[in-house]
A and B are shown apart, each in its own frame.
Chain A
């Protein structure tokens, strides 16, 4: 594929993105402005993540791409193919074999290690955006560490609903300084963000890059009387029996029958290969 530069982006664009990534690493949770480029896929399809991944990839990397936790969802397939074509790198569905993982909406169940980079696709990087629509104002709020509005909002939730009514994109505080949007991952995934891998966040349309270095304190906002609760569906996986994973609810018949399966397809397949079985596993059905 000689029509495009390695990993699609031109070198000057990559340098600009790389500088932004490094400043992001140096200031965990702070959103670094960058001159996001038009990519050959639309805004909202992961252009920020794709640009960050393109700036990070080396010819020796092995890339995994997931959307909703699955390698086989259409957008994950499309992004994986894009990098296979433009960077000629190895790809995998196995979390443990990947050196770079691009994700939309999930953190893999298998703990990530040193030597891995997790790249998040981010739609709205500003955690304060729904409280204050103006960039000029939210920038000031971050500068002054003025996060009272966010706590008021969360507390109003509790007063009205008895709960903090945020179940995904649940705000976190990074290293005791910046309030950060963890991207629209379910809050179930928030505790995993304290990890050994490098986490990079790319928001293409909004032109922001931010980062969480390894072993960095990431705390979900909460209150003493309402501690953070990383809840999930109260079921085991119907295919692998896992009780500790995030589950997708699937409607399986016209009467509205449900099954619950791991959203992380690679993790579920790995468990099944090891002999774990769930309520609706094919082998068990056959045995009955």
Chain B
């Protein structure tokens, strides 16, 4: 096991994770907002935001799917040492991590059941950057409308159409975090105008 896999945890876990959770809560409760989230460092290419998010939310009870370039031995070792979560395929994942192209098609992830719609995957999409432009968002958590650059359009519209089932998303870049719950309706800014 690489030394890098043993480092990169929180300095003060209770305090660091409490701040990280609040960023995760705020971004999911207010789609279109972007918050800073930091404190954990995982091997490349995992962003600091994504590392902090999974360290805050995941443990041995949450199977994780590592997609594409995020599925390396170094990252598996880091997850094993800091989180202890089992690494699984997309169909059993409670959390998924990767870039959009590697995560797609997102139809492989559980979307919950009518009795338990909460039993669905939370997908963490690593991005080049997060920007408040591109797509128009509306729905719970948004006063009138908000803007957020998304890596795609149709899959998010389809996902919102599944409500109350569906996937919930986080977008990460560097130390930046944005959220997109299944309730958010997404439209192309160009079309909307």
Q: Do chains A and B touch in the complex (CB under 8 A)?
A: yes
Which residues from chain A sit less than 8 Å from chain B, CB to CB? 5-7, 11-12, 14-16, 18-28, 30, 32-33, 55-60, 114, 117, 139-140, 142-144, 175, 177-178, 196, 198, 211-217
Interface string of B16-45 (1 = CB under 8 A from A): 011101101110111000000000000000
A30 to chain B, nearest CB (A): 6
B59 at the interface (CB under 8 A from A): yes
Other-chain contact of B140, A23, A30, A33, A215 (Cβ < 8 Å): A215
Number of B residues near A (Cβ < 8 Å) is: 39
Quick one: given A25-B25, A26-B168, A215-B143, are A19 and B18 in contact (CB under 8 Å)? no
Contact check, B140 vs A58: say whether CB atoms are below 8 A apart: no
> In the complex, which residue of chain A has the Cβ closest to the Cβ of B143?
A215
Other-chain contact of B15, A6, A21, A23, A213 (Cβ < 8 Å): A6
B161 at the interface (CB under 8 A from A): no
Other-chain contact of B181, A5, A26, A32 (Cβ < 8 Å): A26
Task: Return 10 A-B CB contacts under 8 Å, by A number.
Answer: A7-B18, A11-B14, A11-B17, A18-B24, A19-B62, A22-B24, A23-B168, A25-B28, A212-B140, A213-B141
B5 at the interface (CB under 8 A from A): no
B135 to chain A, nearest CB (A): 18
Complex interface: chain A residues within 8 A of B139 (CB): 175
Q: Which of B100-108, B113-121, B147-155 contacts A (4 or more CB under 8 A)?
A: B113-121
Contact check, B115 vs A214: say whether CB atoms are below 8 A apart: no
B86 to chain A, nearest CB (A): 15
Other-chain contact of A58, B18, B57, B116, B143 (Cβ < 8 Å): B18
B183 at the interface (CB under 8 A from A): yes
Complex interface: chain A residues within 8 A of B15 (CB): 6, 58-59
Other-chain contact of B25, A59, A143, A198, A217 (Cβ < 8 Å): A198
Bound CA span A266–B26, Å: 27
B97 to chain A, nearest CB (A): 15
Bound CA span A117–B26, Å: 10
> In the complex, which residue of chain A has the Cβ closest to the Cβ of B112?
A27
Complex interface: chain A residues within 8 A of B181 (CB): 25-27, 213
Other-chain contact of B118, A12, A23, A212 (Cβ < 8 Å): A23
Contact check, B56 vs A140: say whether CB atoms are below 8 A apart: no
> In the complex, which residue of chain B has the Cβ closest to the Cβ of A175?
B140
| Most chain A Cβ neighbours within 10 Å, of B58, B117, B118 | B118
B164 at the interface (CB under 8 A from A): yes
Bound CA span A274–B183, Å: 42
Quick one: given A15-B58, A26-B182, are A59 and B122 in contact (CB under 8 Å)? no
Complex interface: chain A residues within 8 A of B19 (CB): 58, 60
Contact check, A140 vs B57: say whether CB atoms are below 8 A apart: no
Contact check, A22 vs B163: say whether CB atoms are below 8 A apart: no
> In the complex, which residue of chain A has the Cβ closest to the Cβ of B33?
A114
Contact check, A177 vs B141: say whether CB atoms are below 8 A apart: no
Interface string of B119-147 (1 = CB under 8 A from A): 01010000000000000000111110000
Contact check, B17 vs A22: say whether CB atoms are below 8 A apart: no
Contact check, A144 vs B114: say whether CB atoms are below 8 A apart: yes
Bound CA span A142–B24, Å: 27
Complex interface: chain A residues within 8 A of B143 (CB): 196, 214-215
